[in-house]
DNA sequence: CGTGCAATTGAAAGTACTCAAGCCACGTGG
DNA sequence: CCACGTGGCTTGAGTACTTTCAATTGCACG
């Protein structure tokens, strides 16, 4: 498990990106266009044809599935530099929507797939990307399958803290509802878990979106079950 | 969601396999050796170094994580032809164990990675494999995050039925405990869910491991929430 | 100073879990 | 051949946790 969390540490992307299209330093020659996506705006729907794939330049995008009763499960949040829409086949398997206002780079999916296939370096890069993403999802599988609401929220905050690399103080860019849909909980349970963590002195909040984490290791311990927390 | 389940339909592997090492028809030149693994025997532990990766020739292998309190989350079951251990980095991220007696083909991990990197076709094959696996995990993420115990068990049986392609009658090769660890439930809850499905006439059992599914679509409907089943 | 939305809190209901006991097929030994 | 133990599965009763439904608070905005 320690290995998993070590893996989860994601390098921080600069807020403003490099000029041209590239992936991990490798230049992409496939044509790309820019697209703005507003917060709450839908990029594509589950079942849509998938002619494009996207790279986040700035902002946050979420991909989610909607169940027949309207509840949602957020599959993944994508931050700056992340590429998504590439692993789909003929049609989109999830719905994508802007969490914040976003700037995206759009690639023709076939052209990009072709370019990847013809470059060993790019192929390797994509293999690595998929492996990393697979690990992340598997970590979350353990969370959703075996961890309590408090543990999930704690783990969520720890992950955010590591991503933002601003220990002590993090800004949660997603709503409580989005956290809930990400963690497989209801919005109320997320609130109560946050309250519980506050009560225990593990976090404090300057505003509803600004969290302080005095001792990240303590929070991480909670997330990993070191304590009588179910 | 329908697209997801369509994707999940896995071609059935023959019980006895091709003679040589290959992946989706592509020959592998990397050296390989055979290894027997008994039911319940551990292949590797989370945290072990990962010099090898494996292909299942016959039998079933499970990969799982163990939590600090001893509970387990099964990450994936691997059947004939499946390759695993490839997506790990320096050390294993999960523990692998035989569900049944198994015959495995072992590859030197570095050699295989190198061979993949040097073959565009193999790279493509592996990209596809990882994408498919990612989709599968994401499906399960929705299950664990948003579906009831009965829905999870129903979905599990439907998936098994599609894999075995023997509609009407399936043999569950894994124990109740393994199903529970796979679905993020307890063994008792799995039993009760099975009982519930029996009560509703959606399944029947010749023995504890032999299930009959008179109308798979009805079971699939339950799994997808078409009904007042939470 | 209302309006509206996000977040929070409370109370009741529901679902899955825990602990405990019973069942059943199977293998062993008397 | 049968009593006895074993391990996997099932069922029951009570508990713990999360959800549901219903208010309430807090804050930004007009």
Q: Do A224 and B68 touch (CB under 8 A)?
A: yes
3-state secondary structure B159-171: HHHHHHCCCCEEE
Q: CB A126 to CB B126 under 8 A?
A: no
Q: Which nucleotides in chain C lie less than 7 Å from some protein C-beta?
A: 6-11, 14-20
B26, β-bridge pairs = B23
Instruction: Decide if B120 and A120 are in contact by the 8 Å CB cutoff.
Output: yes
The order of strands in the sheet holding A102-108 is A32-37, A102-108, A52-58, A83-84
Whether residue A67 and residue B142 make contact (CB cut-off 8 A), yes or no, is yes
Answer whether any strand C atom is within 7 A of the Cβ of B222. no
How many secondary structure helices (H) and strands (E) does chain B include?
7, 13
Q: Which nucleotides of D are covered by protein (CB under 7 A)?
A: 8-13, 16-22
Checking DSSP bridges between strand B102-108 and strand B83-84, what pairing results, if any? unpaired
B6/A contact by beta carbon, under 8 A: no
From the CA of B69, how many Å to the C1' of C20?
A: 21
pTM value is 0.91
Q: Round to whole Å and give the CA distance between B203 and B198.
A: 5
pLDDT tens figures, A75-102? 999 999 999 998 777 799 999 999 999 9
Give the tens place of pLDDT for each residue, B30-70: 789 999 999 999 999 999 999 999 999 999 999 999 999 99
- Predicted confidence (pLDDT) per residue in B105-163, tens digit: 999 999 998 899 889 889 989 999 999 999 999 999 999 999 999 999 999 999 999 99
Residues of chain A with pLDDT under 50: 1-18
- Give residue B89's pLDDT band: very low, low, confident or very high (50, 70, 90): confident
Q: Which nucleotide is nearest to A198 (CA to C1')?
A: C8
- A228 closest-nt by C1' vs CA: D16
Counting DSSP H helices and E strands in chain A, the numbers are 7, 13
B70 and chain A in contact, CB less than 8 A: no
Terminal-to-terminal C-alpha distance of chain A: 17
Q: How would you label A206-218 residue by residue, b for 16+ Cβ within 10 Å and e otherwise?
A: eeeeebebeebeb
B189 touches strand C (CB under 7 A): yes
A158-197 residues touching B, CB cutoff 8 A: 183-184
Report CB contact under 8 Å: B65, A4. yes
Nucleotide nearest A183, CA–C1', reads: D18
Return the axis-axis angle of helices A149-164 and A120-146, rounded to nearest 10°: 150
């Amino acid at each position: 498990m320690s290995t998993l969390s070590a893996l989860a540490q994601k390098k921080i992307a600069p807020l403003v990106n490099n000029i041209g299209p590239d992936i991990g330093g490798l230049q992409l020659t496939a044509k790309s266009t820019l697209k703005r996506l507003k917060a709450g705006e839908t990029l594509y729907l589950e079942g849509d044809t998938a002619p494009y794939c996207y790279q986040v330049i700035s902002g946050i995008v979420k991909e989610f599935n909607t169940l027949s009763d309207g509840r949602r499960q957020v599959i993944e949040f994508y931050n700056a530099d992340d590429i998504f829409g590439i692993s789909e086949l003929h049609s989109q398997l999830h719905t994508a929507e802007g969490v914040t206002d976003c700037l995206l780079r759009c690639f023709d999916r076939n052209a990009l797939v072709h370019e990847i296939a013809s470059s060993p370096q790019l192929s390797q890069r994509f293999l690595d990307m998929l492996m990393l993403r697979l690990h992340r999802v598997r970590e979350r599988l353990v969370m959703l399958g075996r961890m309590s609401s408090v543990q999930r929220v704690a783990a969520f905050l720890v992950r955010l803290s590591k991503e933002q690399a601003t220990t002590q103080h993090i800004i949660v860019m997603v709503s409580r509802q989005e956290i809930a849909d990400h963690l497989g909980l209801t919005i109320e349970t997320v609130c109560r878990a946050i309250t519980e963590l506050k009560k225990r002195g593990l976090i404090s909040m300057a505003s509803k979106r600004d969290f302080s984490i005095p001792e990240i290791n303590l929070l991480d311990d909670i997330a990993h079950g070191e304590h009588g927390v179910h």
